[in-house]
Amino acid sequence: MSRLAEIVSLTPVDGTFTYVVPSDLDVEVGMRVVVPFGRRNVMGVVVEHSDGDATELKAIGSVLDERSTLSNELLELTQWIAAYYICSWGDVLSATLPKGLIWTSKAQNGTAVGIKTARHLRLAEGIKVDAVLAELRGEKQKALIDILATSGRVPQTEALQLSGASSSTAKGLIEKGLVEAQEIEVERMSDGMSVQVDPPKKVELHPAQTAALEAISGAVQSESQTTFLLHGVTGSGKTEVYIRALKQTLEKGKTAIVLVPEIALTPQAVRRFRAHFGNKVSVLHSRMSAGARFDAWRAIRDGRYPIVIGPRSAVLAPLENIGLIIVDEEHETSYKQFDPAPRYHARDVAVMRAHKNGAVCVLGSATPSLESMANAQAEKYTLLRMPKRVPVKGHEAAPLPSVRVVNLAREKEIKRLKGALSDELRDAIRARLERAEQIILLQNRRGYAPVLTCEECGHTPECPNCAVSLTVHKPKRQLRCHYCGRTQRLPTSCSVCDSSELALLGIGTQRIEEEIGDVFPKARVLRMDYDTTSRKGAHRKILDAFGRGEADILLGTQMVAKGLDFPKVTLVGVVNADTGMLMPDFRAAEHAFQLLAQVAGRAGRHDLPGEVILQTRNPDHPAIKFALLHDYEGFVEHELKDRQLLGYPPFGRLVGIEFKGSENGAVRRLAELWTDELEKDVEGAAAILGPTPAFVGRVKQQWRYHTLLKAPSSVPASSLARFVRATIDRAGAPKKGNRINVDVDPVGLF
């Protein structure tokens, strides 16, 4: 009998592998090791010990840790994710660990990121400070000794700055044996973490907040696992409730995770948490430098930060003893990972992680996802409601803004439409400009009038790689593909019929900016879209400038809809509510409603009453009809009926299978054969749709086909996973150049 270990390799290869533990190595579950794997060496993580026959087994090459890097809890959670989302456990571990902890044979020293150290100074052991100070003549020397005497160990740069001494002064003291220098590990901070924040506002909770907090804190105190769905309109004070619940969690000696949809879009929220919890908060996200992420990750694992805030991947933070997980804006689709695997939904993983830890989970939103609403209706989640905005400065709660619809089709018919902005919207803008109030305009489309069409033959230039229309980008006089980034010169004539009658179809943010310039030449406009926010920090600058009143109109894509709070905004105009609403996706109506509700929530948040104008060619669409009345419940009821009728989530389960490759015929055949195999495994227990060419048939030179597995909720997720895995096993890996991606609970249907 020999000592053996079960190891998960950090590769897409499924399963665990047994290795012999050499007698001179100490390995524990959760440690990182290097093992021979096929013909190469790869990193693996030990997940189990065993004893057995070592014949024909390979041995672990080396151990990378002195103690476990991954806790048992994270190992169990990642194993669950792999099983549920049909990917390898190694893929999930790769997503969990920061780059600096992932060994590869190619990188120098195994990993590309190292520990950062800084030179620190301290007094040599046993020296008598008073005697030394009496003896020394240099003032700078004395000052430096003084600082080290009071502060202990100090980074050299700091000590020199405080004392005014130079590095040669320090060197002299070190040579005299009075001071010692040491290289000590320091934590690299991500941008913004070192920024000072204002102390928090002191507020007294209003009754709806108190009721919500009491429910949550009851569960936190009694450690009874509960998932709450906190449905609170924008500005109802949800963040304040989160903060109090977090306080109680820390007081109980527990830790917490706060998930936010995207860090760049939520600077205000992150600042508020930091104002309350200061250096107890760590931020973890993928845009941090590899070094900062590596440092933050290890600091969290070592228990230095009891609160972790971050997008999606923060749900995998290496915290122990978790008491509370909060998912803010739980309906946001950015919580779903698409590429690469694991294609997990961070909200659902949060619910599962809380459940496994006996922790409390709070899902908050002004427009909860239909999945979460259905879970609340089924009493799997406890529904908490905060239907009113927080009263401001002793006033009544600011009422929700009034909403009007402008029917663009009718405007066109009576020939009143002169551009993208109807007369009604223009009048409303004019009134705000006269009163020096502010305006937000949403146009969910970027670029200059995106699509070019030939008025003669109707031809629209398409991207040869992606089979989507190219959009016009005026400043550079280019046509651009928004999928693969390909650009070409703006043509002056049609490539099919040679006509020079080329017109612009559809209207982007830049075109609206021009129209505003023509109609309201004095209005100051800030445009916020992908093109104006691509530089780091640009997003924040635009919002700050608008907040300081340096512009009258903030015009932009859906970025302007999220979480902003500007007291002087009294008008929100949606230039074309139809963009997005008519996409071939069963969630299009839900997403359109959520966007309209979100952007409407930006108007009249304080003393001044707000108004919303929605321009549409489909005034009878449910997303419009219910948004008009702020009737979220009505929309949910209507939409859930539709979903039930069609067997879509939350009443059914979906697994999307994507086939990709550079040769169209080969990918189509792969999709067909594979789908036939799947049919055999499923044996009628679920519907199989497809394969069909993807909605966007070709991206980055890759042809794409889809097959959709659709089953009633009564078929357990584990059965669907079993069908798909059986097919994967039998069909084997696709030929080189082709790929198969499995997406469980897909959002955004292709």
Query: Which residues of this protein are in contact with Zn ion, per CB under 5 A?
Result: 454, 456-457, 459, 463, 465-466, 481, 483-484, 486, 494, 496-497, 499
Q: Please spell the DSSP secondary structure of 600-668, one letter per residue.
A: HTTSS-SSS--EEEEEES-TTSHHHHHHHTT-HHHHHHHHHHHHHHHT-TTSEEEEEEEEEESSHHHHH
Nearer to ligand ADP, 138 or 391 (CB): 391
230 neighbors 212 (Cβ within 8 angstroms):
yes
- Letter for the amino acid at 434? E
Nearer to ligand ADP, 238 or 621 (CB): 238
Question: Which residues 479-498 are close enough to bind ligand ADP by CB under 6 A?
Answer: none
Q: What Cα–Cα distance (Å) separates residue 83 from each residue in 7, 290, 349, 423?
A: 17, 28, 12, 56
Q: What's phi and psi for 132, nearest 5 deg?
A: -65, -45
Q: Shortest Cβ distance from residue 595 to ligand ADP (Å)?
A: 16
Q: Which partner in ligand ADP, Zn ion, none is near 90 (CB below 5 to 8 A by kind)?
A: none
Q: Any contact of residue 236 with ligand ADP (CB under 6 A)? A: yes
CA atoms of 246 and 76, how far apart (whole Å): 25
Q: Shortest Cβ distance from residue 287 to ligand ADP (Å)?
A: 23
Q: Any contact of residue 232 with ligand ADP (CB under 6 A)? A: yes
Q: Shortest Cβ distance from residue 362 to ligand ADP (Å)?
A: 12
Nearer to ligand ADP, 235 or 556 (CB): 235
Q: Any contact of residue 206 with ligand ADP (CB under 6 A)? A: yes
Q: Any contact of residue 201 with ligand ADP (CB under 6 A)? A: yes
Q: In which residue are the tokens 């139809």 written?
A: 578
Coil, strand or helix: which one is 478? strand
516 neighbors 553 (Cβ within 8 angstroms):
yes
Q: Any contact of residue 237 with ligand ADP (CB under 6 A)? A: yes
- Which member of 32, 238, 345, 446 binds ligand ADP (CB under 6 A)? 238
Nearer to ligand ADP, 206 or 474 (CB): 206
Q: Shortest Cβ distance from residue 512 to ligand ADP (Å)?
A: 27
Among 202-210, 255-263, 304-312, 666-674, the segment contacting ligand ADP (CB under 6 A): 202-210
Nearer to Zn ion, 107 or 696 (CB): 696
- Of 190, 71, 81, 83, give the one whose Cα is nearest residue 721: 83
Q: Which partner in Zn ion, ligand ADP, none is near 456 (CB below 5 to 8 A by kind)?
A: Zn ion
Nearer to ligand ADP, 238 or 630 (CB): 238
Q: Shortest Cβ distance from residue 549 to ligand ADP (Å)?
A: 18
Q: In which residue are the tokens 């694992």 written?
A: 301
Q: Shortest Cβ distance from residue 396 to ligand ADP (Å)?
A: 13
Helices then strands, each counted (H, E), the chain: 21, 30
Q: Which partner in Zn ion, ligand ADP, none is near 695 (CB below 5 to 8 A by kind)?
A: none
Over its C-alpha atoms, the chain yields an Rg (Å, rounded) of 30
Among 118-126, 238-246, 400-408, 497-505, the segment contacting ligand ADP (CB under 6 A): 238-246
Question: Which residues 364-423 are close enough to bind ligand ADP by CB under 6 A?
Answer: 390
Nearer to Zn ion, 69 or 471 (CB): 471
Number of residues assigned to the chain: 750
Question: Where does residue 137 rank: exposed (0-12), middle (13-18), buried (19+ CB within 10 A)?
Answer: exposed
Buried-exposed string 510-525: b where 16+ CB fall within 10 A, e elsewhere: bbbbebbeeebeebeb
Nearer to ligand ADP, 373 or 708 (CB): 373
Q: Any contact of residue 291 with ligand ADP (CB under 6 A)? A: no
Handedness of CA 160, 164, 170, 173 (dihedral sign): negative
Q: Any contact of residue 329 with ligand ADP (CB under 6 A)? A: no
- Which member of 24, 66, 125, 204 binds ligand ADP (CB under 6 A)? 204
Nearer to ligand ADP, 266 or 707 (CB): 266
Nearer to ligand ADP, 209 or 255 (CB): 209
Q: Shortest Cβ distance from residue 272 to ligand ADP (Å)?
A: 7
- Of 594, 28, 563, give the one whose Cα is nearest residue 271: 563
- Which member of 94, 209, 255, 443 binds ligand ADP (CB under 6 A)? 209
Nearer to ligand ADP, 61 or 200 (CB): 200
- Which member of 68, 141, 239, 249 binds ligand ADP (CB under 6 A)? 239
Nearer to ligand ADP, 231 or 301 (CB): 231
- Of 659, 696, 695, give the one whose Cα is nearest residue 465: 696
Give the relative orientation of helices 238-251 and 267-277 as an angle to the nearest 10 degrees.
Answer: 30
CA atoms of 538 and 354, how far apart (whole Å): 36
Cα atoms in the 13 Å half-sphere on the side-chain side of 744: 25
Q: Shortest Cβ distance from residue 235 to ligand ADP (Å)?
A: 5
Coil, strand or helix: which one is 20? strand
Among 166-174, 231-239, 494-502, 681-689, the segment contacting ligand ADP (CB under 6 A): 231-239
Cα atoms in the 13 Å half-sphere on the side-chain side of 319: 32
Nearer to ligand ADP, 597 or 694 (CB): 597
Among 153-161, 228-236, 302-310, 543-551, the segment contacting ligand ADP (CB under 6 A): 228-236
Question: What single DSSP character describes residue 419?
Answer: S
Among 186-194, 230-238, 496-504, 624-632, the segment contacting ligand ADP (CB under 6 A): 230-238
Q: Any contact of residue 240 with ligand ADP (CB under 6 A)? A: yes
CA atoms of 114 and 95, how far apart (whole Å): 19
CA atoms of 430 and 516, how far apart (whole Å): 11
- Of 209, 17, 11, give the one whose Cα is nearest residue 93: 11
Q: Where do contacts with ligand ADP occur on this chain (CB under 6 A)? A: 201, 203-206, 209, 232, 234-240, 390
